[in-house]
Structure formats: C-alpha cells, structure tokens
Amino acid sequence: MLQIAAIREHKDDFVKALKKRNIDAAPLLEKAIAMDEKRRSLQTQLDETLAKSNLLSKEIGNLFKSGKAEEANNLKAQTGELKEKSKDLSEQLNNAVEGLQSVLYLIPNIPQESVPAGNSDEDNEVVSQHGTIPTLVGNAQPHWELAKKYDIIDFELGNKITGAGFPVYKRKGARLQRALINYFLDKNTAAGYEEMQVPHLVNEESGYGTGQLPDKEGQMYHVGIDDLYLIPTAEVPITNLYRGDLLEQKDLPIAMTGYTPCFRREAGSYGAHVRGLNRLHQFDKVEILRIEHPDQSDSALDAMVVHVKGILEELELPYRILRLCGGDLGFTSTLTYDFEVYSTAQEKWLEVSSVSNFKTFQANRLKLRYRNGDNGTELAHTLNGSALALPRILASILENFQEEDHINIPKVLIPYCGFDRID
C-alpha cells in the first residue's frame, strides 16, 4: 500500500509511473488525497473539541473547589454538548479513515524505472537465456501422456475425488515430488534461509497484509463459516509472521523459506495451454522471503535471482529470465523477474518462479517497521521468490529427460529420490 504522504508529495510522478501498468491512476490518487484532507480536517476538529472539553472539565473542578457550584453546574451543560460533538466527530473520523484505507487498497505499487512498458506477457523483456535445449526421441510425449504411461500422476483420479486441477501423485511420481521439495529446502537453508512451517489457512488481516486481499480476481478459496482463506502461496503466512512488528536494525536482513501446498481458483482458466500440470488449483511450492533494510533490497533481489539460477542449473534444465513489463507486473510488486524453463515436448516456455521486490508496499500494509537509530522508525522492504514451484519443474523434468523406454532423473536429485530413472 502506498503511503498517503508520498501520494500527496509525488502525485504527478506516480500517475506517470503507473501508466506503465496501463492505468490512469489520477482519479484514484486525487480521491485518496481528498479523503485524506477530510480525515485531517476531522482529526483537527476532534482534537480541538477534546481539548476544549478538557479545559472546561478542569475549570469546573476548580469552581467546585472554590465553592462556586452554580457556575460549575452551568458549565456542565457545555461539556455534555462537547462530548456529543466529539462522539459524532470520532465516528466521522473512523469512517473517513476506513474510506481512505479502502481507496489506498485499490492502488497498485509503483513500477521501478527499469520495468519496461507493455500490455501483457508478450511484452516482457528477456534478460538472459541459459542451458541447451535437448533433442528428444522422435516419439517424445508431453508430461500428461508420460504420467499415464508410467503411472506416476493420475489426473482422472484427482478429478474423481475432488475435481479438475487436483492431481494425485503416485509411486515414483510421489517420491520425485517429495525429493524436489527436500532438495529445494536444503538449497535454501544452505544459502542462509531459515525454514518455517506455517498454517495453510490465514485470516483476513493476513490476506490484506501481503496484498492478496481485496481479491479482485476471485483467485482465493474462502472458508466462509470460519472467515479464513486457503493460502495461494507461502508468502502470505510467512511474511505475516512479522505483521505489526518493530525490528531492530541489527536484526536485518531476515531470510526465510518454507514449503506449503498452494491453492488458487484460477477462475476462467481453460484450454490446451493449461493441460496436465501446466495450471492447477492445488500445487506444491517452496518459497524464499526476505525482510531487508531499504538500502539493501535491490542487491538482495539480485542475490535471489542468482540463487534461483543456481538451482535450475543443478537441475540441468534450460531456462530464461524475464523482466516483467508494467502490464504483467503483479499488483504489489515494484520489480519482478520471472524464470521460465523450456518444455521440449510441448515446445514452449513454462514459468516456474517469480522473484519480486515490494519495497515498502507490503510493509506499509503490515505496519512492519525497523528502528533506524536516531532517525526514529522506518518501513522495512519485503521481497519474495519461488525456489521453486513444483508442477512445471516436474513437467519439464519428465519431458526433457525422457528416453524411448524410460525417464532419467537429474543427477542432483538421485540421492533424494533413491532411484535414477522412471520406467
């Protein structure tokens, strides 16, 4: 969430920057400023009314002490009126604060200067490409056919017990899934990320804290009777561990990792491009997150990108890195790098990770600050990335490592799997 003081000071700059997202933010920003002016006016009126009431109360007390009860009782009527006025002003102020908050929740983060302009994922900038795309056997198959051939993932069984988008992993498919999770966690903890195991349901305040709420696209599963939400990513519960905290500067940076299942309704998703593991309603993901001093968040983002690169290179998967354009940038992000691996059997690039810097956007929602020496307190910066999302990594391994009668396992995963091939 943008800070209202920054909006007042940089409104024209923000309008220009948000055009990269293909939105005209001027009406929302002007509305926020007008509502803040109303809020400040009401706050001033309330403060003056309370101050006047306090002065009268002291005067009444002094009059009673001086034996001037009649004068004191006459003033009591005025204090009653002031109390009613302060109550009314307090209600108006609360409504103004809530109204301002609602408007601020609708304004996305400001893209960094390096974010390219563009309308969709077709306009994302390819930063670099790595690895060699393998040459497959003539009868190479996509992963959903391989899953059926080797009986390692059952999409129909998942549809039977839950619905489309909830696959069942079986035998070596389940073991490969578990191997990937353990491998990712080991890589992350070796790099200094502290492992966290967190709930898979969060309350509304947590959803607002990291920017998943208000849920404009209807992507979150809501458990209405308990007013809880199934998490779309571990980013939500792990980042919210520090909601409302005041950190010491010496405690920064804070680096965390965690494995969770993720739940997304993916409303409106259909067609061949979402077949098999390409898009699911439930999937596994290992996340890395950082809470950083503002001076260090840019370099921290670069380090996270290098970390994810190292994992993909050990998995021997061809990949590329993209800088997302304004039209494809997530609501809360100021800069995002996507990683895509190449699926040779499908002849397409598949997104497997997003690494993002949110700067103060989430921290302002979370009220996450750090003590900055003699300069008081400041908002921290938050970052997160996938290291990694499993479905498309698994799909790419199955497709890129397939032979005519078996599927090889990347060397780095063999100790985790306990086998070197699927046949």
What are the tens digits of pLDDT across the range 151-166? 999 999 999 999 999 9
In a domain, 194, yes or no: yes
Mean pLDDT in residue range 139-150 = 95
Is pLDDT larger for residue 75 or for residue 157? Answer: 157
Domain of 147 in residue numbering reads as 121-422
CATH number at residue 193: 3.30.930.10
pLDDT at 311: 98
pLDDT at 269: 52
> Is 369 known to sit in a ligand binding site?
no
Is pLDDT larger for residue 58 or for residue 159? Answer: 159
> Is 128 known to sit in a ligand binding site?
no
CA distances, 272 to each of 277, 278, 279, 358 (Å): 11, 9, 10, 33
Mean pLDDT in residue range 165-180 = 97
Based on the fold, state whether residues 169 and 271 are members of the same structural domain.
yes
Based on the fold, state whether residues 71 and 203 are members of the same structural domain.
no
286-303 confidence digits (pLDDT tens) = 999 999 999 999 999 999
User: Of 58-67, 153-162, 384-393, where does mean pLDDT reach its minimum?
Assistant: 58-67
> Is 344 known to sit in a ligand binding site?
no
The dihedral over CA atoms of 325, 331, 336, 339, expressed in degrees to the nearest 10, equals -90
Based on the fold, state whether residues 346 and 281 are members of the same structural domain.
yes
Based on the fold, state whether residues 142 and 61 are members of the same structural domain.
no
Give CA–CA dist 340/277, Å, rounded. Answer: 15
- Work out the percent of the chain whose per-residue pLDDT is above 90: 85
> Is 8 known to sit in a ligand binding site?
no
In a domain, 110, yes or no: no
> Is 351 known to sit in a ligand binding site?
yes
Give CA–CA dist 129/342, Å, rounded. Answer: 10
CATH number at residue 15: 1.10.287.40
Based on the fold, state whether residues 248 and 331 are members of the same structural domain.
yes
pLDDT at 274: 72
> Is 323 known to sit in a ligand binding site?
no
Tokens read off for 249? 């500067």
Based on the fold, state whether residues 164 and 303 are members of the same structural domain.
yes
In a domain, 115, yes or no: no
362-384 confidence digits (pLDDT tens) = 999 999 999 988 789 999 999 99
Q: For residue 334, name the pLDDT band (cuts at 50, 70, 90).
A: very high
CA angle 196, 197, 202 (to 5 degrees): 110
Instruction: Please report the DSSP string for 151-163 in residue order.
Output: T-EEHHHHHHHT-
Give the position of tokens 């696209």: 217
Number of domains in the chain: 2
> Is 30 known to sit in a ligand binding site?
no
> Is 125 known to sit in a ligand binding site?
no
> Is 114 known to sit in a ligand binding site?
no
